[in-house]
Structure 1
Amino acid sequence: MPKVIVGEFVTLDGVTEDPDGSNGTPHGGWMFRYGPDAVAGDKFRLGTVLQTGVKVLGRATWELLGGIFASREDDFARALAAMEKIVVSRTLTDVSAWANSTLLDGDLLDVVRERARHQDVVVVGSGSVVDQLVAHDLVDEFRLVVFPLVVGKGHRIFDAATAPIDLELVSSEEAGGGALRQVYARKGGR
């Protein structure tokens, strides 16, 4: 059964905001403290989902990732370029800078529900998109790379949760640089 998968770089206290420092927050850039092994390549272990799924990205994450991967020629960058990408934005009018990108046409929640009937839907970063999916209980799996750092403030992954979310740990392994890759699935499924 297809899943809605959220992948996030996150601090030990749940902060997902500004992991690369591009937003210029005082606490930003924290993921680079742990070296390239913690962030390089397919850290969320998407594997074949990169070939069969659809990626939903908020504007800022699409611009950031597109700026990094659109011109690269490694296998991971090519897989990302080939993957269908739906961009959620009220301000962009052109998303042709990164192959296979289209602007969201319709309501985010309706589009995600419809797509998830037939294929995996992947959201990486994109805090406002994740907030909406979490608030409406649409996430089946969280794939987190947890960094051994407490920043104390910033947007957290479950800020939009309205009720307890009952999850089970599927896997936990070292991701490099002291970070852990943890996968949590919603108990009982969708």
Structure 2
Amino acid sequence: MGKVIVHNQITVNGAFEAPTPEEWLELDADSSDAGLEQLILADALLLGRKTYEGLAAVWPHLGEDPSMGHYAERVNGMPKYVASRTLTGRLDWNATLIEGDVVQTVPELKDKHKGNLIVSGCGELAHTLAQEDLVDEFWFWVNPHLWPAGPRILDGVGPIRLQLIAATPYRSGVIWLRYRPHVKAD
């Protein structure tokens, strides 16, 4: 059975969006290699409409960039499941539209896949999955920056108590934090 993993790059103070990624993302070889390893182990991406449209506009063209080669190859080749109430019909970029209620469909996708289902982004889909207890793990790649403005990770979700699984620091100052929702003892 696959796991649903909410995966995000954030700053120390929880910002996940800046005017340009160059202003806070630490793109070092160590954490980038670890991120690629996690993508290789994953079976599919689980995306909301906005994230899907944003990624689909960029990633198919990144295969032409030698610095993005293995990442682009993996991301472009992966199956993608897209949750949307407004999209209809067939999707591009190796994507399938989730028909019906995402809360009912995600457990079926977990049964179908043995590897991870990576939720990239922290919008409405990630909020829904977290609130409905459908997230198995949260992965935060914490970048050593403070960003004064902008949206914060999963703002408005919770309360959800998390249990630390692992913390992996990298030379750049990036720390990969892995959490699972804390299960209360009976």
Same fold, TM-score > 0.5, yes or no: yes
The answer on 1:85 being equivalent to 2:80 is: yes
**Counterpart position of 1:10:** 10
Whole-angstrom distance in 2 between the partners of 1:145 and 1:44: 13
**Counterpart position of 1:37:** 28
Q: Deviations over 1:63-97 (max 9, x none)?
A: 22222221333222122122110112233346644
Whole-angstrom distance in 1 between the partners of 2:36 and 2:77: 17
- The Cα shift of 1:49 comes to 2.8
Superposed counterparts of 1:5-154, under 5 Å: 5-16=5-16, 18-19=17-18, 21=19, 29=20, 32-37=23-28, 43=35, 45-50=37-42, 53-73=43-63, 74-93=69-88, 96-98=91-93, 100-119=94-113, 120-154=116-150
Gaps of 5+ in 1: 22-28
TM-aligned CA distance change 1:148 to 1:34, over 3 Å: same
Q: Percent identity?
A: 28
3-state SS, counterpart of residue 60 of structure 1: helix
Q: Deviations over 1:95-154 (max 9, x none)?
A: 6441x1121211111111221223232101142111111111221111111122333554
Gaps of 5+ in 2: 64-68
Q: CA RMSD, aligned part only?
A: 2.8
TM-aligned CA distance change 1:152 to 1:35, over 3 Å: closer
- The Cα shift of 1:12 comes to 1.4
Letter in 1 for 2:28: D
Whole-angstrom distance in 1 between the partners of 2:32 and 2:53: 18
TM-aligned CA distance change 1:33 to 1:171, over 3 Å: closer
Letter in 2 for 1:139: V
Aligned length: 176
Whole-angstrom distance in 1 between the partners of 2:124 and 2:139: 17
Structure number having the greater helix percentage:
2
Whole-angstrom distance in 1 between the partners of 2:74 and 2:138: 21
